[in-house]
Structure 1
Amino acid sequence: MTRDEKLRFEVQGVLPFAGLVVWSLALVIVRVLYAENRTYVFLPWNLFLAVIPLGASTALRLLHERSGRPATFRARMPHVLLFAVWILFLPNAPYLVTDLFHLGTKPPVPLWFDLALLLSCAATGIALGFRSMGDVHEIVKTTWGRTVAWGFVVVVWFACAYGIYLGRFLRWNSWDVLHAPILRIAIDSLLEPHQHPRVLGVTALFGGLLALAYMTVRAHVAWVAAREHRT
């Protein structure tokens, strides 16, 4: 594959997700212009944060395809940095689903429009997250095998669910991991689950949903590919 062909291939892979982002942003702009207020103006920022993990995973995948598994510590550093950015910001993608908490009657905009707006952003976040996970999933699978890769996927989705809890209920950002006592809270919630029912509930329910939904999408894609191969 030539450089131009590879570039075209990458652009084609990103275009559908860019379309979702543009559609969601357009709905926000329409709402602001129609209502003449700043309700939901936080959504573009949330969408931007949801795009970051896809950018990091794409860069990590391209780096892996070019150099393979690095042999030295120095060669590993770009991979490690990109992975760190990816894992820190990945929860921002499914986090967009929880913006549905803000849904309510807010005249003069009809409720159905706000529902469509929030659902569009939620769907965009899920799509970005699944595509981003797919990039890293393939890297782990080619490096350590299928079983390890699926175990990695499940663990990361539950970690994302915990990140959703931190963002929605504790109002922490991805970069707060550098100084916030996240690990201590996680350990406390495991040692004394009766004292932290919300964190365990959110982590279990959202983690299970994300893992099962991702598995379903992967299984369907594999089934379609197998069907096309047979025909």
Structure 2
Amino acid sequence: MIVLLAAAAVFALDVYAVVLVLLRAAVYRVHLYRPMLVNLGLSFVPVPLSLVAGFGFLLFVHYRSHPLESASVLEGVLAVMALALPTCAWLLMFPNSVYLITELNFSHRVENTPVPLWYDIVQTLALTLSGIANAILSLAPLQMFVIIGQQNGNQVTVESWVFSGVVILLGAVGVYLGRYLRFNSWDVRHPVSMARKLSSHLRERGKGLEALGFVITHATLVALLYVPLFLFAWGSLVAAGL
């Protein structure tokens, strides 16, 4: 029940953020800032992907636990693909959720805009919180699947925390690449070009230290929000007889 309530709350926050963006244009007669809607849509994509990846993980764990009973080589390959493909897709899309933190720069506001500052504060904060909520909602189920797959009872394992920590850190790296180098998740199709641009960027004076500070700061913020919420959700599931 708590999982459904959490999902409903996140969905409601997403809808609220969309409504505020649309009302901004309709009420104040300004240009609709479509990038916000696009970014919000991209931030939600990791949520369904995480569920697919989670079931792929459980399928892989089942195959690994019963390799000689009835599974063929083809079934083993399919089990690996069921885990690898959605997990890679989810990991590539995950930074789009925490990316919404950067919307707090208010780049959508122009000089002499009729939109009150208080409205843009609430709208942008709702957008940012929805992105963080989407990130948490997509990461938490996968960490739970990792715990369940390890068959350690109701204990939150160190391995699951390492998994989440690495994902959060990579998410912060993705946000930096998206904000400062304008990379998108699908740019991984051109790894050589990405590596060349990143290398050139980091060779600029002070950019390496700036990148490190950005990643650590953003990852720490997400971790501080994620850890207590995950522990609360996991404790509630355990108490409910998971």
Q: Same fold (TM over 0.5)?
A: yes
TM-score range normalised by the length of the shorter chain: 0.7 to 0.9
User: Which is bigger in relative contact order (C-alpha 8 A, separation at least 6)?
Assistant: 2
Deviation at 1:39, TM superposition (A): 4.8
Q: Which amino acid aligns with 2:131?
A: G
d(CA) in 2 for partners of 1:100 and 1:220? Answer: 28
**Structure-to-structure mapping, 1:67-216, within 5 angstroms:** 68-71=61-64, 72-102=76-106, 104=109, 107-144=113-150, 146-180=157-191, 181-182=193-194, 196-216=208-228
Deviation at 1:188, TM superposition (A): 8.8
Relative to structure 1, is the Cα distance of residues 47 and 106 closer, same or farther in structure 2, using a 3 angstrom cutoff? farther
**Greater displacement, 26-35 / 215-224:** 215-224
**Greater displacement, 93-102 / 214-223:** 214-223
Q: Which runs of 5+ in 2 are unaligned?
A: 65-75
Residues 1:37 and 2:37 aligned together: no
d(CA) in 1 for partners of 2:45 and 2:32? Answer: 24
Contact 2:7/2:137 (8 A) holds in 1 = no
What is the aligned length?
221
d(CA) in 2 for partners of 1:149 and 1:191? Answer: 35
Deviation at 1:107, TM superposition (A): 2.0
Q: Show the counterpart of 2:9.
A: 16
Deviation at 1:222, TM superposition (A): 4.9
Q: Show the counterpart of 1:3.
A: none
Q: Which amino acid aligns with 2:144?
A: E
Deviation at 1:136, TM superposition (A): 1.1
Q: Deviations over 1:38-80 (max 9, x none)?
A: 2532111001101110010022234445675444122221221
Q: Which runs of 5+ in 1 are unaligned?
A: 1-7
TM-score by length of 2: 0.78
Contact 2:49/2:89 (8 A) holds in 1 = yes
Contact 1:189/1:200 (8 A) holds in 2 = no
Contact 1:193/1:200 (8 A) holds in 2 = no
Deviation at 1:11, TM superposition (A): 5.9
d(CA) in 2 for partners of 1:191 and 1:152? Answer: 30
Q: Which amino acid aligns with 1:125?
A: G
Q: Deviations over 1:131-160 (max 9, x none)?
A: 110011112223346111111111111111
**What do you get for the CA RMSD once the two structures are aligned?**
3.1
TM-score by length of 1: 0.81
Relative to structure 1, is the Cα distance of residues 116 and 9 closer, same or farther in structure 2, using a 3 angstrom cutoff? closer
Relative to structure 1, is the Cα distance of residues 193 and 130 closer, same or farther in structure 2, using a 3 angstrom cutoff? farther
The sequence identity of aligned pairs, in percent, is 28
